[in-house]
Amino acid sequence: MSKIKITLLMNFLELTKRRYSARNYSSDMVEQEKLDYILECARLAPSAVNYQPWHFFVIKSDKQKQLVQHSYPRDWFAGAPLYIIVCVDSAVAWVRKSDNKNHSDVDAAIATEHICLAAAEQGIGSCWVCNFDADILKQNLHLSPTQYPVAIVSLGYVKQLPEKSSPRKDLTEIVSIL
Protein backbone atom coordinates (compact mmCIF):
# COMPACT_ATOMS: atom_id res chain seq x y z
CA MET A 1 0.00 0.00 0.00
CA SER A 2 1.95 3.02 -1.18
CA LYS A 3 0.83 6.62 -1.25
CA ILE A 4 0.70 6.54 -5.03
CA LYS A 5 -2.93 6.85 -5.99
CA ILE A 6 -4.12 3.60 -7.48
CA THR A 7 -7.67 3.19 -8.63
CA LEU A 8 -8.57 -0.43 -8.26
CA LEU A 9 -11.80 -2.25 -8.71
CA MET A 10 -11.71 -4.90 -6.04
CA ASN A 11 -14.18 -7.55 -5.20
CA PHE A 12 -14.76 -8.33 -1.54
CA LEU A 13 -12.36 -11.26 -1.44
CA GLU A 14 -9.60 -9.09 -2.88
CA LEU A 15 -10.34 -6.40 -0.30
CA THR A 16 -10.21 -8.85 2.61
CA LYS A 17 -6.89 -10.15 1.30
CA ARG A 18 -5.58 -6.61 1.02
CA ARG A 19 -6.25 -5.84 4.69
CA TYR A 20 -3.63 -7.02 7.13
CA SER A 21 -2.26 -5.83 10.46
CA ALA A 22 0.16 -3.06 9.49
CA ARG A 23 2.91 -2.42 12.03
CA ASN A 24 5.28 -0.31 9.99
CA TYR A 25 4.07 3.22 9.19
CA SER A 26 5.48 6.22 7.40
CA SER A 27 4.97 9.59 9.07
CA ASP A 28 2.74 10.82 6.20
CA MET A 29 -0.64 11.93 7.56
CA VAL A 30 -3.81 10.31 6.28
CA GLU A 31 -5.68 12.86 4.19
CA GLN A 32 -8.84 14.31 5.75
CA GLU A 33 -11.01 13.04 2.87
CA LYS A 34 -9.77 9.48 3.43
CA LEU A 35 -10.35 9.79 7.17
CA ASP A 36 -13.87 11.09 6.48
CA TYR A 37 -14.50 8.14 4.15
CA ILE A 38 -13.30 5.64 6.76
CA LEU A 39 -15.46 7.22 9.47
CA GLU A 40 -18.50 7.19 7.16
CA CYS A 41 -17.99 3.45 6.63
CA ALA A 42 -17.85 3.00 10.42
CA ARG A 43 -21.01 5.07 10.86
CA LEU A 44 -22.89 2.84 8.41
CA ALA A 45 -22.01 -0.39 10.23
CA PRO A 46 -24.95 -2.49 11.40
CA SER A 47 -25.67 -2.88 15.11
CA ALA A 48 -28.12 -4.93 17.13
CA VAL A 49 -31.59 -3.28 16.98
CA ASN A 50 -29.75 -0.41 15.23
CA TYR A 51 -28.87 1.07 18.63
CA GLN A 52 -25.45 2.30 17.38
CA PRO A 53 -23.91 2.29 20.88
CA TRP A 54 -20.50 3.46 19.67
CA HIS A 55 -18.37 6.57 19.76
CA PHE A 56 -15.26 7.05 17.65
CA PHE A 57 -12.40 9.14 19.01
CA VAL A 58 -10.03 10.33 16.28
CA ILE A 59 -6.64 10.87 17.88
CA LYS A 60 -4.57 13.33 15.88
CA SER A 61 -2.88 15.80 18.23
CA ASP A 62 0.60 15.03 19.57
CA LYS A 63 -0.63 15.37 23.14
CA GLN A 64 -3.49 12.90 22.71
CA LYS A 65 -1.32 10.53 20.66
CA GLN A 66 1.19 10.35 23.51
CA LEU A 67 -1.58 9.48 25.96
CA VAL A 68 -2.84 6.72 23.66
CA GLN A 69 0.70 5.41 23.15
CA HIS A 70 1.08 5.28 26.93
CA SER A 71 -1.84 2.81 27.00
CA TYR A 72 -0.02 0.51 24.53
CA PRO A 73 3.71 1.18 24.61
CA ARG A 74 5.17 -0.39 21.47
CA ASP A 75 7.65 1.23 19.09
CA TRP A 76 5.73 0.28 15.96
CA PHE A 77 2.47 1.62 17.45
CA ALA A 78 4.08 4.95 18.35
CA GLY A 79 5.02 5.32 14.68
CA ALA A 80 1.41 5.51 13.50
CA PRO A 81 0.31 9.00 12.48
CA LEU A 82 -3.30 8.51 13.52
CA TYR A 83 -5.53 6.40 15.78
CA ILE A 84 -9.26 5.78 15.98
CA ILE A 85 -10.47 4.52 19.34
CA VAL A 86 -13.74 2.61 19.09
CA CYS A 87 -15.73 2.94 22.31
CA VAL A 88 -19.16 1.62 23.20
CA ASP A 89 -21.75 2.29 25.85
CA SER A 90 -23.03 -0.94 27.38
CA ALA A 91 -26.06 0.97 28.69
CA VAL A 92 -27.07 1.80 25.11
CA ALA A 93 -26.36 -1.57 23.46
CA TRP A 94 -28.97 -4.27 22.98
CA VAL A 95 -29.21 -6.98 25.64
CA ARG A 96 -30.57 -10.38 24.61
CA LYS A 97 -33.32 -11.34 27.02
CA SER A 98 -32.85 -15.11 26.87
CA ASP A 99 -29.36 -15.02 28.45
CA ASN A 100 -28.80 -11.33 29.30
CA LYS A 101 -25.93 -11.05 26.80
CA ASN A 102 -24.93 -7.43 26.16
CA HIS A 103 -24.05 -6.96 22.48
CA SER A 104 -21.84 -3.86 22.77
CA ASP A 105 -18.65 -5.77 21.93
CA VAL A 106 -20.28 -7.35 18.88
CA ASP A 107 -21.45 -3.97 17.57
CA ALA A 108 -18.05 -2.39 18.20
CA ALA A 109 -16.27 -5.25 16.43
CA ILE A 110 -18.33 -4.78 13.28
CA ALA A 111 -17.63 -1.03 13.19
CA THR A 112 -13.94 -1.69 13.83
CA GLU A 113 -13.69 -4.08 10.91
CA HIS A 114 -15.51 -1.58 8.69
CA ILE A 115 -12.74 0.89 9.61
CA CYS A 116 -9.99 -1.59 8.75
CA LEU A 117 -11.54 -2.66 5.44
CA ALA A 118 -12.37 0.91 4.40
CA ALA A 119 -8.78 1.88 5.18
CA ALA A 120 -7.46 -1.00 3.09
CA GLU A 121 -9.65 0.04 0.19
CA GLN A 122 -8.23 3.56 0.45
CA GLY A 123 -4.65 2.29 0.46
CA ILE A 124 -4.21 2.97 4.18
CA GLY A 125 -2.69 0.39 6.53
CA SER A 126 -4.37 -0.39 9.83
CA CYS A 127 -3.90 -2.53 12.90
CA TRP A 128 -6.63 -3.51 15.31
CA VAL A 129 -5.26 -3.29 18.88
CA CYS A 130 -6.93 -4.55 22.07
CA ASN A 131 -3.94 -5.20 24.33
CA PHE A 132 -4.05 -1.69 25.80
CA ASP A 133 -4.50 -0.44 29.35
CA ALA A 134 -8.23 0.29 29.35
CA ASP A 135 -8.10 2.44 32.50
CA ILE A 136 -5.65 4.86 30.91
CA LEU A 137 -7.97 5.32 27.94
CA LYS A 138 -11.11 5.59 30.08
CA GLN A 139 -9.53 8.37 32.13
CA ASN A 140 -8.09 10.28 29.19
CA LEU A 141 -11.26 10.10 27.13
CA HIS A 142 -13.47 10.93 30.13
CA LEU A 143 -15.71 7.94 29.46
CA SER A 144 -18.84 7.41 31.53
CA PRO A 145 -18.97 4.37 33.85
CA THR A 146 -20.93 2.39 31.23
CA GLN A 147 -18.66 3.38 28.31
CA TYR A 148 -15.47 1.48 27.52
CA PRO A 149 -12.86 1.27 24.76
CA VAL A 150 -13.06 -1.87 22.60
CA ALA A 151 -10.30 -1.28 20.09
CA ILE A 152 -7.66 1.18 19.04
CA VAL A 153 -7.10 1.15 15.28
CA SER A 154 -3.75 2.56 14.22
CA LEU A 155 -3.87 4.04 10.73
CA GLY A 156 -1.31 5.28 8.25
CA TYR A 157 0.55 4.70 5.04
CA VAL A 158 2.82 1.71 5.34
CA LYS A 159 6.55 1.86 4.68
CA GLN A 160 6.93 -1.74 3.64
CA LEU A 161 4.58 -4.59 2.89
CA PRO A 162 5.10 -7.77 4.97
CA GLU A 163 6.89 -10.62 3.24
CA LYS A 164 4.07 -13.07 3.89
CA SER A 165 0.50 -12.89 5.14
CA SER A 166 -0.67 -14.41 8.43
CA PRO A 167 -1.83 -17.98 7.98
CA ARG A 168 -5.46 -18.97 8.33
CA LYS A 169 -7.06 -22.28 9.19
CA ASP A 170 -8.39 -24.28 6.30
CA LEU A 171 -12.15 -24.16 5.68
CA THR A 172 -12.31 -27.88 6.39
CA GLU A 173 -11.18 -27.17 9.97
CA ILE A 174 -13.65 -24.41 10.73
CA VAL A 175 -16.83 -25.26 8.83
CA SER A 176 -19.33 -27.93 9.69
CA ILE A 177 -22.13 -28.66 7.28
CA LEU A 178 -24.94 -30.27 9.22
Ligand X SMILES: Cc1cc2nc3c(=O)[nH]c(=O)nc-3n(C[C@H](O)[C@H](O)[C@H](O)COP(=O)(O)O)c2cc1C
Q: Which residue type is seen at 130?
A: C
State CA 99 to chain mean position distance.
Answer: 28
d(CA 138, CA 148): 7
Nearest-5° Cα angle at 171, 165 to 175: 140
Rule CB under 6 A: choose which of 10, 91, 130, 161 binds ligand X. 130
Cβ-proximal residue to ligand X, closest one: 131
With beta carbons less than 8 A apart as the criterion, state whether 72 and 133 touch: yes
Rule CB under 6 A: choose which of 35, 93, 129, 143 binds ligand X. 129
Non-local (6+) Cβ contacts of 176 within 8 A are none
* 128 makes contact with ligand X (CB under 6 A): yes
Min dist CB 22 to ligand X, Å, is 8
CB nearer to ligand X: give 21 or 102. Answer: 21
Non-local (6+) Cβ contacts of 50 within 8 A are none
* 127 makes contact with ligand X (CB under 6 A): yes
String of contacts with ligand X for each residue 8-37, x by CB under 6 A:
------------xx----------------
Q: Segment near ligand X (CB under 6 A), from 6-14, 46-54, 117-125, 128-136?
A: 128-136
